[in-house]
Structure 1
Amino acid sequence: MSADEKITLWLAQLRAAGCTVVLARLVIALSGAVALVVPALQPWDELDLVPYVGVPLLLAAVVLPDSLAAMLFMLVIALGWLMRGPATFSWSLVLTAAALVILHLATAFAAQLPSYARVPHTTLRRWWLPAATATLLTPLIAGAAALIHHANVPGSLAVTAAAITLTALTIWLTADQKLNRD
């Protein structure tokens, strides 16, 4: 198959795509853009390599959400922050973390669907509550972990692990998951 045939096929699949699939990919693009722009606007010097590697990975994640591109994008953003960013808790860190959580959840949702799928809007309603719960709980857990980290509390690792476990359980319950598949 030649390149022009591949592009023609991709454009035909894009025209056939439902609103839900396009919306999921737009959420991937917007949250990835936020995760790229917020660290770049900070007063500390971001690695120059982050945008050069991050932009192509974000584009690949939008086009192919079931590939490793989204995971590598999140890794590049996180490593770029860890290498040069401040170790303090800030609102820009919260915004970047929330953008990465939304990108992760939207990529996981979009990866389940082919690009030409027509999915009813009820599918989005089932995804919305767990995604909102995870997005809101992420900064709360990060703030609690930052407070515990500097407090020298005995057993702080156990408290952090318990908070993450409770968050996972909350998301599980809000997603209305069942243990049996009957």
Structure 2
Amino acid sequence: MNLAERINLWLTRARAAGRAAVLARLLILASGGLALAISGLQPWDQLDLVLVVGLVALVATIALPDSAVPFVFLVVVAGGWLMRGPSDPSWQVAAVAMALVAFHLATSYAAQLPAYVRASRATIRSWLLPATVALLLAPAVAATSALIREASLSGSLVLTITALALTTTAYYLTVD
């Protein structure tokens, strides 16, 4: 198969893609791009390899959401923050966390259905409630961790584990 035939096949598949698949892939692109943009605009010295590998992994994730490439993207972006980023919670950390949660949820949704599937609005709506809860929990957890860190409470590990358990329970109860 030559290059022209491959492009024609790709365009045919893109035209046959359902609304749900296109929406999920657009959300993958938007959330992954936001996470990379916020990471790249930070004042601390970040490895250029993080942005290059992250961009390649983002493009590959749009094409192959059911592969290991989304995991590579998450590890690269989060690893870039862990290697060089500040340890204090900030709005940038919360924004990147929310973008990575949206990326993860959109990738898992896109990986469940083939690109040509015609999903109903009910299918998309059933996915939106858990996604919204997960997105709203990210800044809540960041704010709570900042408050716990400033309070110098004894037993902070117990509080953190309790918060994670409550977060997991809230997410579990919203999933059908």
TM-score range, shorter chain: over 0.9
> TM-score of the superposition, structure 1-length normalised?
0.90
SS at match of 2:74: helix
The aligned counterpart of 2:77 is 77
Any residues of structure 2 matched to 1:32-181 within 5 Å, and which? 32-176=32-176
Report Cα offsets for 1:67-94 as digits up to 9, x if no partner: 1111110111111111111111111111
| Runs of 4 or more above 6 Å deviation | none
| C-alpha distance in 2 between matches for 1:28 and 1:61 | 8
Gaps of 5+ in 2: none
Gaps of 5+ in 1: 177-182
Report Cα offsets for 1:10-56 as digits up to 9, x if no partner: 32221111111101000000000000001211221221111111000
Percent identical pairs in the alignment equals 51
Task: Please tell me the residue identity of whatever aligns with 2:145.
Answer: A
Does the C-alpha gap of structure 1 residues 160 and 117 become closer, same or farther in structure 2, counting only changes over 3 Å?
A: same
| C-alpha distance in 2 between matches for 1:98 and 1:116 | 28
| C-alpha distance in 2 between matches for 1:45 and 1:12 | 43
> TM-score of the superposition, structure 2-length normalised?
0.92
The aligned counterpart of 1:180 is none
SS at match of 2:67: coil
Root mean square deviation of aligned Cα: 1.6
